Structure 1
Amino acid sequence: MSGQVVFVSGIDTDIGKTVVTGWLARQWLERGERVITQKLVQTGCIGASDDILMHRRIMGTGLFEEDRDGSTMPVLYAYPASPHLSARLEQRTLDFAAIEAATARLRQGYDTVLVEGAGGLMVPLTDTLLTIDYVAQRGWPVLLVTSGRLGSINHTLLSLEALAARGITLQGVAWNSRDDGSDELITADSREFIRAHVARQFPQAAWYEVPRLDLA
């Protein structure tokens, strides 16, 4: 029997998806679930996915065999840009078959595969395919990462509207405290506004409070 996939996305680039993915995987491991993470596509690195390495550091597991054989990082590009541009610059088409085969292998061995995307929901994978549409085609639920940075209410609600418009299930919203803004009043208000909105509009969705992790 295949395990479930949960896709981790965020309201913007650098919102903390990698930290949240690693933290959540650790929480689920500690309660006895077989969990692994995967990077859908990684740009800006060579040889290994920096995000997968960070996941393992937070999880405290060391590398998995599936990391060594490339299943958790099936596509890497060197140029730090959206996948469609990185692929074009390297003249190497995004290999969806390799990604799908890798995800299928991980699902066979684990209860849950947390698949971290690149950037936000509307990041283009190709010139004609957005990340959100790739996720919708597969019927994967989404865990959305947000924070208290200025503008997060707008970006979060727009992301939630986009998920709803495509019939994508919201698995949960993760509040990344590490990325909170410098204005404590705005941060506190944004948190309560977003949490109340999610509770009203997506009552089935979980709410995760992600603490500030010491990653030094």
Structure 2
Amino acid sequence: MPGVFITATSKNIGKTVLTTCLTYALNKKGIDTVPYKPVQCGAIQKDGSWVSPDAEVYRNVYQPRNEEEINTYLYKPRFSPHLAAQLANDPINPKKILSNYEKLEQDHDFVLVEGPGGLAVPLIDEHYGNAELVKDLNLPLFVVASAEVGTLNHTVMTVSYARSKHIDVQGIILNQYPEHPSEGIQENPVMLEKMTGVPVIGMVPHVDDIETKLKDKAVLDIMTENIDVDYIANESNS
């Protein structure tokens, strides 16, 4: 079971938090799982060094082994990767990402690859972006989407774009599901499945200040109890 690729319908959907929570849930099931962020824009300083903020979130549940790389390309500007790479004079080489992924795959049962931004984000130019990386990695695709109003449009467009690139979306996870959802929000999972033909495999509750609580196993259990984690693990074999 090599792994899966996780994308989102837009920014601030909670893709990194979900990747962290899934890392916890899969490891809890006895599946040796590593989170991997191939490209990170928007580096932060920690102890005098520039680090990946998403990889720092992962560290709530996963500590890299020795010199293990869970982030390959790191850029300071919070720009689209293609532009951040140009400004840094450090172009993204997909072969380097594939090599790093293969090392992680050899050392672990499962790799959760979190793409930067949404599926249509360019990594090199208009011809090579996240969609092309998904195809090069040959991984199943899962989409993290908002549970709120607007998700039908954003999610259907993401799935349609994936299919235009000959990528099959294997599942949708709705994040930040409110404790008291409106009728419209309750209808969203049903309509998403009808419109896309893709199963909604999880609905994750809204938790205030979630990034500050990711070391709490009780919170992690709440975040993942309504996600079909077995489905995610099994789809990597299909």
With normalisation by structure 1, the TM-score equals 0.84
C-alpha distance 4-206 of structure 1, shift in aligned 2 (>3 A): farther
Deviation above 6 Å: which 4+ runs of structure 1? Answer: none
Query: Quick one: distance in 2 between partners of 1:78 and 1:184?
Result: 40
Q: Which moved more, 1:139-148 or 1:160-169?
A: 160-169
Stretches of structure 1 lacking an aligned partner (at least 5 in a row): none
Single out whichever of 158-167 and 20-29 deviates more from structure 2.
158-167
Matched, 1:188 2:178: no
Q: Which residue of 2 aligns with 1:49?
A: 52
State the 1:149 CA deviation: 3.0
**Cα RMSD between the aligned structures?**
2.2
How far does residue 82 in structure 1 lie from its aligned partner after superposition? 0.8
1:168-198 CA-partner distances (Å, limit 9, x unpaired): 23232111026x6x98344333233224445
SS of the residue corresponding to residue 128 of structure 2 reads: coil
Query: In structure 1, what residue type is equivalent to 2:52?
Result: S
User: Contact 2:27/2:33 (CA < 8 Å) preserved in 1?
Assistant: yes
* Map of 1:17 onto structure 2: 15
Report what 2:146 is aligned to.
147
Q: Structure 1 residues 124 and 6 mapped into 2: Cα distance closer, same or farther (>3 Å)?
A: same
Query: Deviations along 1:144-189, whole A, 9 cap, x unmatched?
Result: 00012332101101111122233323232111026x6x98344333
Counterpart among 89, 93, 96 of residue 94 in structure 2: 96
**2:153 paired with 1:157:** no
- Give 5+ residue unaligned stretches, structure 2: 45-49, 213-238
TM-score normalised over the length of structure 2: 0.77
Equivalenced residues, count: 203
Match among 185, 198, 209 for residue 203 of structure 2: 209
Whichever structure has more strand as a proportion of its residues is: 2
Judge conservation of contact 1:10–1:145 (CA < 8 Å) in 2. Answer: yes
How far apart, in 2, do the equivalents of 1:35 and 1:206 lie? 22
- Mapped pair 1:129 → 2:132: no
Show CA shifts across 1:4-43 (max 9, x none). Answer: 1200001111211101111111111111101001002001
Deviates more, 1:182-191 or 1:21-30: 182-191
**Distance (Å, rounded) in 1 between the aligned partners of 2:170 and 2:23:** 14
